[in-house]
Chains A and B, each alone.
Chain A
Amino acid sequence: MAQILAPCSQWQMRIARNSAPASPMTAKMWSSLVLKQNKKGTAKSSAKFRVFAVKSENGTINRMEDLLNLDLTPYTDSFIAEYIWIGGSGIDLRSKSRTISKPVEDPSELPKWNYDGSSTGQAPGDDSEVILYPQAIFKDPFRGGNNILVMCDTYTPQGEPIPTNKRHRAAEIFSNKKVVDEVPWFGIEQEYTLLQTNVKWPLGWPVGGYPGPQGPYYCAAGADKSFGRDISDAHYKACLYAGVNISGTNGEVMPGQWEYQVGPSVGIDAGDHIWISRYILERITEQAGVVLSLDPKPIEGDWNGAGCHTNYSTKSMREDGGFEVIKKAILNLSLRHKDHISAYGEGNERRLTGKHETASINTFSWGVANRGCSIRVGRETEKQGKGYLEDRRPASNMDPYVVTALLAETTILYEPSLEAEALAAQKLSLNV
């Protein structure tokens, strides 16, 4: 494994040892994750990566690890809260931390905070304060102990959500009574690509060339087929520790590309959990010395893109007769294809070509077990007459608040005219 993570000679998980509150992780389990230093290659490669290495210059002993893993609970009731928000591009995550003096149970007990919006493209310099409203709490897998991560959204001092705040509108949709009654479930499959630092070429790919064609890499093992498993595995455990609803992970079709799934989550939780999982992932790649890319088509040519397939169901779909409800939902979605596509991620047109297990961006299609469609319905769902649908259109850089809210809105709140419905049913050969 160490040699595949090409230049990195040393990186370690910063994790809680013996955190006081009951934790499923033991020190022994954690230390098995720690990459053993590749002693042979150390001299050469450490010269390039000394900037990231946590090693004292005369190489005697490393005291920083003790400080990073320090369990403060015997010395103070205070703990550290890392406030996390989405920046001006809509996909860049930002965070900063503060000390909290007494324990909290609920995000509403945490203080609102503010940051310099002029440094993130979200406010002008002469009126720069943007306010952070805490919305969800997770345990901090990097600091351990009682320390926490806090997912926030962003407002003007007057209390208006700023334009890049997509959570606010999603929360409104998810509190609509019709939506609440339908208990919408989401399972989101986040794909991502790992790139070597300094060259922005995928991890494990030869610099100046290409690996063998796709085929052997999907869910594979082996130094010539799986690049960066430590990142995926460390991320899985870190998310479970944090309280993120991560349900699985797998290696993807393109080498150096991975996927994890978060769900099933209800309503607004889906968005919060995906954003926190993305934060944890980029903190881990930061330590690993590897660049995280959520670009939907990182390499042109005969290489898969990266998506964020969104599995979705409502109470009606999960009950007997649900298959009819699913077909009606698909009908609604077909009538709003353009609206959805424009909100499903920047650069998606490079990915949705109709090849590489996608449907063309201009065509709406659906099918059972068909990976070349916009919407795929599983064989189990068809057989049992109830279940869920998979929207395969969203790109890996989609905003889950936008996508989940739009799915709920289009399938639960939107009422198309009868003529439009009939026309669409004909086009899709759907007897609804």
Chain B
Amino acid sequence: MSLLSDLVNLNLSDSTEKIIAEYIWIGGSGMDIRSKARTLSGPVSDPAKLPKWNYDGSSTGQAPGEDSEVILYPQAIFRDPFRRGNNILVICDTYTPAGVPIPTNKRCAAAKIFSHPDVVAEIPWYGLEQEYTLLQKDVKWPLGWPLGGYPGPQGPYYCGIGVDKAFGRDIVDAHYKACLYAGINISGINGEVMPGQWEFQVGPSVGISSGDELWAARYILERITEVAGVVLSFDPKPIQGDWNGAGAHTNYSTKSMRNEGGYEIIKKAIEKLGLRHKEHIAAYGEGNERRLTGRHETADINTFKWGVANRGASIRVGRDTEKEGKGYFEDRRPASNMDPYIVTSMIAETTILWKP
């Protein structure tokens, strides 16, 4: 066993210039992450200098068998916390050989929106709060829950400590350091209201990098749960009944909102979002109707409402923002399984580009 460990942790920088690059992409379901590795001749820090690659799209539901090649375009580089040294993780998006983004590639359209001059001028910032649930491996019942039964009701678990209140902290803490090492802008973590549920936050990140960082963080998280022998779930309502769901609250601001008089801009933006509630909800994650019930700190899925410090609203504005007359707001509607490329670009589009 120790020989295997020595080999996995081998520091190659003394023996060779070569590095390993793990190419990462999103598969056919829009939520499954895939990756494979290749050797490069030396360290790289610019994604544009990495070679394009390809994979078997017929094995991920993204291409037919007789024309199966899907091309990977490298878009963002992070340090590899598992291989360390000069090795890297590469976030990619996916194209046909003819150069057309395949249907599951949501990054391409988002990048277009984020390069629109009006959006660029507003420097949109995002803070994404990713919630997730840990499940025991063979039974798909949450980590720490007794088999055939339930833990005590919600109350003691939010930010709780102790073996009877916090289940799986090692995973969360390992993930925090791994993301900081990788160069991801991870800003915090906390234990959530439902036992076995956790949250981490990525941001503030500008434009398209928000989506890249969240997908990289999700990849690192699932690699860690793989090692820990625990199943990772992004389902928005993993357990029915009096148990919280899992969301991906999206905090957002533009340059105008962060400057003097920003609060008026915020209110206008929220108004616009209210007029496109149905379109946003349709893009905010599968199964969200099981979560947005109006209970458990959510607003009902058919209702759009906003409020200051109100956790039962669709949009929440912080007390600090109201007091200072500028700041940001929180869209609480996205589910934990949302695609950050879609959500971040849609919020920018509706609030900056769309004219009602």
Contact = CB atoms under 8 A, between A and B. Distances in A.
Interface of A: 14, 50-57, 60-64, 66-68, 70, 72, 75-76, 78, 80, 87, 92-99, 114-116, 118-121, 125-129, 142-143, 157, 197-198, 279, 282-283, 285-292
A279 B159 CA distance: 12
Contact of A282 (B161, B167, B312): B161
Nearest to B169: A286
A119 B155 CA distance: 6
Nearest to A52: B163
A125 B310 contact: yes
Which residue of B161, B165, B178, B186 has the most chain A CB atoms within 10 A of its CB atom?
A: B161
Given A61-B8, A125-B297, A126-B312, A291 B162 contact: yes
Closest 5 CB pairs of A and B: A96-B190, A94-B159, A119-B158, A98-B188, A67-B174
Given A68-B170, A68-B174, A72-B180, A61 B162 contact: no
Contacts of A291: 162-164
B85 interface: no
B342 interface: no
B310 A127 contact: yes
A197 B160 contact: no
Contact of A61 (B1, B309, B310, B311): B1
Contacts of B309: 126-129, 157
A118 B310 CA distance: 10
B325 interface: no
A157 B226 CA distance: 41
Interface in B176-226: 176-178, 180-181, 186-191, 193, 224, 226
Contact of B178 (A70, A95, A98): A70
Nearest to A56: B227
22 contacts: A14-B173, A51-B144, A51-B168, A51-B230, A52-B163, A52-B167, A56-B226, A63-B227, A68-B177, A70-B81, A70-B178, A78-B180, A94-B159, A95-B161, A98-B188, A116-B158, A116-B311, A121-B155, A125-B311, A128-B310, A286-B161, A291-B162
B224 A64 contact: yes
A130 to B, nearest CB: 10
Contacts of B137: 57
Q: Chain B interface residue count: which class? A: 35 or more
A423 B226 CA distance: 72
B171 interface: yes
A126 B228 contact: no
Interface string B25-48: 000000000000000000000000
A87 B186 CA distance: 26
A119 B193 contact: yes
Given A78-B180, A95-B161, A96-B189, 9 more contacts: A54-B170, A56-B229, A72-B177, A76-B181, A80-B180, A98-B188, A99-B186, A119-B297, A126-B310
Contacts of B320: 157
Interface string B120-145: 00000000000000001100000110
Given A129-B309, A129-B318, A286-B169, A115 B228 contact: no
A54 B227 CA distance: 8
Nearest to A288: B163
A134 B5 CA distance: 41
B187 A99 contact: yes
Given A286-B161, A286-B166, A66 B312 contact: no
B163 A289 contact: yes
Given A52-B163, A72-B177, A64 B170 contact: yes
B162 A76 contact: no
B1 A64 contact: no
B213 to A, nearest CB: 13
Given A128-B311, A129-B309, A282-B161, A92 B156 contact: yes
A80 to B, nearest CB: 7
A141 B175 CA distance: 18
Contacts of B170: 14, 54, 64, 68
B173 A142 contact: yes
A276 to B, nearest CB: 12
Contacts of B168: 51
Contacts of B190: 95-97, 115
Contacts of B59: none
A203 to B, nearest CB: 12
A89 B228 CA distance: 33
A285 B167 contact: no
Contact of B229 (A55, A72, A118, A285): A55
A53 B229 CA distance: 9
Contacts of B166: 286
A80 B79 CA distance: 19
Contact of B319 (A97, A157, A197): A157
